[in-house]
Chain A
């Protein structure tokens, strides 16, 4: 059991999300970096889908009110444990650690919007809503009372197995580098971009705007911090009406939209289920987690990819996570 002392910015309970409800208008939600979240769960002997706490910016501080076994994965993060007796120790990302009643834990991601995950053994205990424990912040349901965490919230973990507690070795998951490229399959409306806009899409150094959130990553072109100076992407003559009025169509996390003002938005886990702006690209499923690690200080490029490469990358990712799960299970 934990009590929230400092809630940081946009800390919310997330599992792997609610799938299969987009036809009812319900967003997927779930961890933006499902890869880091899954690793955190495997480290603790949890199943992949146990609910965790996703943190977008710190400092996030909790006080343990019972015995807790936990780990933090994801973005480069400063993690500090302050014992009941005043002792201070530093914890690495990916390290399994224990908290005793009265211990405080402070988590400070090094960059804003570089997400990290606090996982508890047994998973965070909140009700299942429409099959998931994820918080849908926009629609206000699920997770912890349908909202981001606040000071004084009490987080309970589900019953953990006492036998595994005592046999838990110190484990360490090396954080995978998110790199600086995101692979994108050209979207249905990509052919309607001007040639110079297509080049701009692949050649620009992009950054995440501070206006980005769990619904979408608004892109700005480095080095222009001032959005008024951005060179907007344009559609070819004869197709410019598409930027204002396309028939509504399904969108999914990873869809890259081009709104009329001309700067792309990459949709993320909390995005709406339908949209009306040109779909100029689709981030491959295997690279979605990298977007969660593109903090406001990261530069990245979009790289053109085909479906065969995308499917192979997804298969590789699944296999890597499976091997990691097996390694964690070894006594």
Chain B
């Protein structure tokens, strides 16, 4: 039986998997990730790269060959399969991921391509609702009003769910608003907070620790982004389009 490292090399060479890498996260998870330097990740192609991952996730959910898969979690240009190592054949899983990625890549994009439903989110920007708005403006050496205008002007898409129940990672942040995470994460960020981290933006469904730059808050009368007793529990889902609307407190 080959070691996983040897097998991984074998897959990469025989399938000519050049754009992505496969690697383990402990003994219960395997990650497939599009290499950062690949042109697919330039702004124009980021959505296509993500739609490949979304398509791969759909494929894995419906396949029945690999047993013992517990969960399949999307990230940005990556996907993690969590499995029971006492049941799953990890080498067969790696093969399945590599082949699945290549076939998903060659198919035309389906989700994450602008065909999802439009969701409008009312946001109160700045002041006590957006404690990092001034810092973000200073980082970009522009006015606070410009930051708000740029954020509201964006056409966003939900690339994947994560971080908290109801949290959708949004693609489409204007490059002029890209801001690094806070050096020291807060131990508490208020529910409904609208934030920026790197080239991503999103809304915190409930309070939590976090390192995002907080620029505003979802209007208080808006339905909860996550309700475990509602069907569907999540207000936002992978593939939805999102627009922010500035409102008064």
Contacts and interface: CB of A to CB of B under 8 A. Distances in A.
B211 A25 contact: no
B31 interface: yes
Interface stretch (B18-26, B97-105, B136-144): B18-26
A254 B197 CA distance: 24
A20 B74 CA distance: 13
Question: Which of A19, A25, A274, A275 neighbours the largest number of chain B CB atoms within 10 Å of its CB?
Answer: A25
8 contacts: A23-B72, A138-B164, A247-B76, A247-B77, A249-B31, A250-B82, A252-B25, A259-B211
Contacts of B71: 19-23
Interface of B: 4, 23-29, 31, 33, 36, 57, 70-80, 82, 85-86, 160-167, 169, 180-181, 183-185, 187, 197-198, 200, 205-209, 211, 226, 228-229, 233-234
Given A24-B233, A254-B26, A247 B75 contact: yes
Interface string A1-38: 00000000000000000011111111100000000000
Contacts of A130: 228, 233
A252 B76 contact: no
Given A24-B165, A259-B211, A274-B75, A285 B29 contact: no
Nearest to B227: A141
A279 B31 CA distance: 12
B98 to A, nearest CB: 17
A307 B27 contact: yes
Given A23-B73, A274-B73, A244 B181 contact: yes
A247 B34 CA distance: 11
B78 A247 contact: yes
Contacts of B200: 248
Interface in A177-194: 185, 187-188
A276 interface: yes
Given A23-B71, A25-B163, A274-B163, A259 B185 contact: yes
Contacts of B29: 250, 252, 282
A272 B180 contact: no
A203 interface: no
A261 interface: yes
Q: Please name the 8 residue pairs, one residue from A and one from B, whose CB atoms are nearest each other, closest first.
A: A282-B26, A274-B162, A250-B80, A250-B73, A249-B75, A310-B27, A247-B76, A245-B198
A58 interface: no
A254 B29 CA distance: 11
Interface in A297-331: 307, 310-311, 314-315, 318
Contacts of B181: 244-245, 260, 276
Nearest to A249: B75
Q: Is the interface of A mostly helix, strand, loop or mixed?
A: loop
B57 A23 contact: yes
Contacts of A261: 183-184
A21 B200 CA distance: 23
A315 B87 CA distance: 11
B167 A315 contact: no
A295 to B, nearest CB: 20
Contacts of A279: 25
A140 interface: yes
A249 B163 contact: no
Given A23-B73, A24-B233, A260 B161 contact: no
Interface string A138-173: 111110000000000000000000000000000000
B211 A185 contact: no
A95 interface: no
Contact of B82 (A139, A185, A252, A274): A252
A157 to B, nearest CB: 23
B161 A25 contact: yes
A24 B27 contact: no
Interface string A249-277: 11010110001110000000000111110
Nearest to B200: A248
Contacts of A282: 25-27, 29
A285 B72 contact: no
